[in-house]
Amino acid sequence: MLLAAARVDSIQVAGDGVGLPMKSTAKTVDEYVKGLPEDRRKAISAIRKVILDNLPEGYQECMSYGMIGYVVPHSVYPKGYQCNPKLPLPFVNLGSQKNHMALYLMCIYGDAKTDQRFRKAWEKTGRKLDSGKGCIRFKRLEDVPLEVVGQLIARIPVADYIARIESVFDSRTAKGSKSKVRAAKR
């Protein structure tokens, strides 16, 4: 059963906040947005709107790791996040950090083809891409090609995302098991 994409302010996803210097204590997405400085509120709100307008059915918006999160809820994927099954499976996070704002794109993790397509589309806009493995950093709304973000979000249905994540983690588990068997034989 898939749930409609919806803004859900009542879900609070806990996290350890490691590596997140500006972890908010806001309990709802609206509270989080209202607590931002005006320039960042405008940028985060615009990107949030693009995400919500393009979010496929089955994902939910909530507070996650002290920022806005878009997740696959336990009602859709009971296994939850492989790193912490008590948490829903993260898809995208959007937050305001100390020196920048950021999009955390777990949706491209483990999918080189989608990652490359996203990076090429961004580059074609002429805007500089300041990124890590799955983190896009930006200082102003004008730095973000909203249409590229929207296309990425819209392109990944929840069932496809779950299948890819399971494939990535299953292959890692299998590799780890083979290593343990080899070590045990020594």
pLDDT at 172: 62
pLDDT, tens only, 122-153: 999 999 999 987 799 999 999 999 999 999 99
Q: Which residues of 170-184 are buried (b: 16+ CB within 10 A; e: fewer)?
A: eeeeeeeeeeeeeee
- Residue 157's SS3 state is coil
Whole-number Cα distances in Å, 17 to 25, 65, 100, 139: 11, 6, 17, 21
Instruction: Give the count of domains, the chain.
Output: 1
Q: Has residue 1 been placed in a domain? A: no
pLDDT for residue 24 is more than 90: no
Q: What is the mean pLDDT of the chain?
A: 85
Give me the domain span that covers residue 17: 6-185
- Residue type (1 letter), 163: A
What H or E segment, with its residue span, contains residue 180? helix 158-185
Q: What is the pairing mode between strands 130-131 and 101-104?
A: unpaired
CATH number at residue 21: 3.90.1150.200
Instruction: Return the pLDDT at 16.
Output: 39
